[in-house]
Amino acid sequence: MKNILGLLSIFLLLLSCNREDSIAPEPYDNPEIPLDIPAGFPSLNPAVEKNRPTKYGVELGEKLFHENKFSINNSISCASCHKRGSAFADNEVQAVGVYGRVSLRNTPPIQNLAFMKFYNWDGSKLRLENQPLVPIITHEEMNSSIVEVINKLAVDHVYRHLFMKAYGDDAITADRIYRSLAQYQYTLISANSKYDNVRRNEGETFTESEARGYQAFQTKCESCHSTELFTDQSFRNVGFPVNPSTEEAGRARVTGIPADLMSFRVPSLRNAEYTAPYGSFGQFSTLKAVLDYFDNGVLEADNLDPILKEQDNRIPMTEQEKQDIIAFIKTLSDEAFVGK
Amino acid sequence: MKTLTTYFALCIGLALFVSCNDKEDPVANSITLHFNNTFGDETIVLGDAISATATENTSAEGQIHHFSELKYVISNIRLIKADGGEFPYHINDLDKGATVVNHAKPQTLDYVLSNIPTGGYKQIKFGLGVKQDLNTLDEVRFPKFYSAAGENDTEMMWEWGAGYRFTKIEGFYDTDNKELSIHTGSTVEGEEGSYTQGVDAYRDIILDLNTNAVVGSTAPRIIIKADFDKLLSGKTNTITLTTGTGMGDNATPNIHTAAQMVTFVDNLGGDGTSDISGMFSIQSVED
């Protein structure tokens, strides 16, 4: 009888419903990378806590960031528009994707994103992990699909090995791609400019022009370009020339709130020297052109920012002040960050 | 040897009992949902700007208009039994339970719900659009729906929002045939019930059937009328189309955006509170 029961139980075990292998993941050594958070920076985006950068996650993310297989014809990667030498932006008026297709907007720089609450000029995304799918599928950008991307990566042994190191097995999943790309970008922190050096009393000092520029900046610019990120992360309509595309509505495209029409996220001014042209669709070729525009007067709008409305739709500046402000803005350039 | 054979037979018998899938309710038949896209009582004929055959409609504000393209997504279908019980139809599976109705493709006007339990049904609920938790363009999870939505002639992806377009209407208005282009889709971020930003363009539709749809000996057809006269002349909003780049202009520019979109969404799918049917109504239930 004992034998029969034994036989039966073996039989029942064999008739298991779930055929998924429940082999425990291989133990793997992939330490977290501590984020070096600069003094005075705002708090991290809460998504970072759920996706802390790891040694191999970041390594994988960096490789993916430079991977042309993300585009339909293997011609462009994230790094094609987000070039390190331009603070991970580029110098096109509007971003250029596959087959030379031109996008709606100017490429935003990728720096200090771990501290941002909103992504894209209209703040459409609140978590960096949700962003990569957008360029992958957009007609004017990579024009591909995540399954296409996964299939291309899956035949590459190097990637299988990297996914194994980062996640413990070699499964290439959409989620892991998004998480790795975000991890890499979280590590792109820029806080080693001359301004930072001066502020931290590390030996450098402002020139007279830079010092005057900093003074002028504090009265003319800092209401919006505040905090150590040099943006208060608000959305404002500052009366810039309007994108003629019928697709553009600024922040209102996302929120549906009329008061957000043609409002855009205040850009960080860190590394602005490297990211010309300026404006949501590259309206201004130089920093001087931006300041001239503010000085001459901006476009009227019902929802024009109150700060501008109070000053007759302009920010008056003398030519000397403009020169000085630009000199100050250039102290925000982080040469090590852009690899110069 | 004989005992061993007996044990073996016993084992086989046991094995037969240990079935992996629980048997579902007895199933017999199907229900076909037919979407009749109309202006009032007249089924729409699409046409280009100068078409002589396209169905013309006049809005409450007196604007003449016709369509060249008309598409929308139906998902989250639930059938309410005569006794009040609810039969959800693959509501969490876009591949099996959602469809793109494309007026230019007659085969998409009929959506067959298969393996429906026998019995009478008194009400149907469905979504115009895709619930937020499934509205992620997850090609890995729902390759069939992703492909159907993404076909070149469909373009029901809203790339920058990383979700599906819920309705896509192209056409012409006023006597000079200005373009109208009305796209709806959600831009919300966050979890359902606590969205942190954006517009939720998904609408739940509830329609009582005028006679019970009885599944069993027959496979009923439910004719659902989608009256696109409501687009401009709805229960919630009376809309005048204007072309331009201003804040109030709605015919083409901002319609790709959320700014003017909600008024159209409420007209097409109801406002979710006082109006739970929008442009939809039950035309008939056929055995």
Q: How do residues A1-27 score in pLDDT, each as one tens digit? A: 455 555 545 444 444 444 444 444 556
Pairwise CB contact (< 8 Å): B197 & A123: yes
pLDDT of B254 over the 60 cut: no
What are the tens digits of pLDDT across the range A83-125? 999 999 999 999 999 999 999 999 999 999 999 999 999 999 9
pLDDT (0 to 100) of residue B247:
65
Helix (H), strand (E), coil (C) string for B83-104: CCCEEEECCCCHHHHCEEEECC
- Worst-scoring range by mean pLDDT, A327-336, B116-125, B238-247? B238-247
pLDDT band at A28 (very low <50, low <70, confident <90, very high): confident
Give chain A's mean pLDDT. Answer: 92
In whole angstroms, what is the distance from residue B5 CA to residue B104 CA?
A: 64
pLDDT at B272: 87
Decide if B187 and A124 are in contact by the 8 Å CB cutoff. Answer: yes
- Which residue from B minimizes the CA distance to A172? B140
Asked if residue A241 has pLDDT above 80, the reply is yes
Collect all residues of chain B within an 8 Å Cβ-Cβ radius of residue A174.
138-140
Mean pLDDT of A239-249: 90
Whole-angstrom Cα distance, residue B136 to residue A132? 12
* B199 contact A CB<8A: yes
Angle at A82 between CA A76 and CA A87, to 5 degrees: 155
Give the pLDDT score at B58. 98
Whether residue A277 is preceded by a cis peptide bond, meaning omega within 30 degrees of 0, is yes
pLDDT, tens digit, 9 for 90 and up, residues A150-176: 999 999 999 999 999 999 999 999 999
CA distance A9 to chain B (A): 10
Is residue B18's pLDDT more than 80? no
Residue of A254, A300, A304 to mutate, interface with B, max B Cβ within 10 Å:
A254
- Look up residue A237 and give its two tokens: 């309509």
CA dist., res. A187 & res. A65, Å (int): 13
In the predicted structure, residue B202 carries a pLDDT above the cut 90: yes
pTM of the model: 0.87
For B15, the closest of A15, A249, A303 (CB atoms) is: A15
pLDDT at A162 (0 to 100): 97
Label residue B13 by pLDDT band (50, 70, 90): very low
What's the pLDDT at B29?
86
Residues 6+ apart with CB under 8 A from A40: A227, A228
B16 touches chain A (CB under 8 A): no
Question: Which of A4, A150, A246 is best to mutate for the B interface (most B CBs within 10 A)?
Answer: A246
Q: What is the mean pLDDT of residues A216-236?
A: 98
Q: Over range B229-240, report the average pLDDT.
A: 95
pLDDT at B258: 72
pLDDT tens per residue across span A47-80? 999 999 999 999 999 999 999 999 999 999 999 9
Q: What is the pLDDT of residue A21?
A: 43
Task: Give A206→chain B minimum CA distance, Å.
Answer: 41
- For B247, the closest of A7, A126, A258 (CB atoms) is A258
The answer to whether the Cβ–Cβ distance between B259 and A146 falls below 8 Å is no
Q: Does B224 touch chain A (CB under 8 A)?
A: no
Residue A149 reports pLDDT greater than 50: yes
Instruction: Tell me the pLDDT band of B7, cut-offs 50, 70 and 90.
Output: low
- Domain map of chain B by residue range? 25-286
Please tell me the predicted confidence (pLDDT) of residue B255. 53
Q: How confident is the model at residue B217 (pLDDT cuts 50, 70, 90)?
A: confident
CB contact under 8 A, A12 and B143: no
Q: Which residues of B touch A8 (CB under 8 A)?
A: 10-11, 14
In this prediction, residue A17 carries a pLDDT of 42
Question: Quick one: tokens of B211?
Answer: 């006679």
Residue B16: pLDDT over 60 = no
pLDDT in tens, A121-145: 999 999 999 999 999 999 999 999 9
Domains, in order of start, for chain A:
46-186 (1.10.760.10), 194-338 (1.10.760.10)
Cβ under 8 Å to B: A residues 83-142: 120, 123-126, 130, 133-134, 137-139
- Report whether pLDDT(B239) > 70: yes
Range name among A89-103, A213-227, A249-263 with the lowest pLDDT average? A249-263
CB contact under 8 A, B139 and A7: no
Contact with chain A for residue B257, Cβ under 8 A = yes
Secondary element (H or E) of residue B209: strand B203-215
Residue type, B164: Y
Yes or no: say if B35 and B124 are a contact pair by the CB < 8 Å rule.
no
C-alpha dihedral sign at B243, B246, B247, B248: negative
Q: What is the mean predicted confidence (pLDDT) over A232-239?
A: 98
**How much helix, strand and coil, in percent to the nearest 5, is found in chain A?**
40, 5, 50
| H/E element, A264 | strand A264-265
- Distance CA(A61)–CA(A67), nearest Å, equals 10
Query: In this complex, do A137 and B157 lie within 8 Å of one another by their Cβ atoms?
Result: yes
Here the tokens at position A161 are: 């090995």
pLDDT tens sequence across B147-181: 999 876 777 888 777 799 999 999 999 999 999 99
A118-136 b/e (C-beta count within 10 Å ≥ 16 → b): bbbbbbbbbbbbbbbbbbb
Helices (H), chain B: 2-17, 94-97, 143-150, 261-269
Residues of A in contact with B162 (CB under 8 A): 125, 130, 133-134, 137
What average pLDDT does the segment B37-48 reach? 98
d(CA A97, CA A138): 9
* pLDDT value, residue B6: 53
Beta bridge partners of B36: B225
Interface of A with B in 177-206 (CB under 8 A): none
The string of DSSP letters for A6-23 reads HHHHHHHHHT-S--S--P
Q: Which of A17, A146, A256 sits opposite B258 (nearest CB)?
A: A256
